[in-house]
Amino acid sequence: QVKPQFESRVNETYGTFQAIAYRTQVVAGTNYFIKVQVSDTMYVHLRVFQGLPHENQGPSLVSYQTGKTRDDPLTYF
């Protein structure tokens, strides 16, 4: 659901967009830290916020990091 948000921010289109790992942080909703494979050797880390159910809002891309590898640890950013 956040792929279009990410692609518009980086002004690129990705044929591959596969989440391979994630972590969560509970706040007033949930932060998801997601490692996404965007090519054979390129990865990005996304921070996605999902509000509480009664807010009726979809996930939103808060921040991202590019230039990651498969072995980079998924940490808070």
Contact 74, 45 (CB under 8 A): yes
Residue 73 lies in a domain: no
pTM over 0.85: yes
Q: Give the model's pLDDT for residue 56.
A: 83
User: H/E element holding 8?
Assistant: helix 3-10
Contact 49, 31 (CB under 8 A): yes
Q: How many distinct structural domains can be found in the chain?
A: 1
Residue 59 lies in a domain: yes
How do residues 29-69 score in pLDDT, each as one tens digit? Answer: 999 999 999 999 999 999 999 998 888 888 999 999 999 99
Residue 76 lies in a domain: no
Q: Mean pLDDT over residues 71-75, rounded?
A: 93
Range of the domain at 37: 1-68
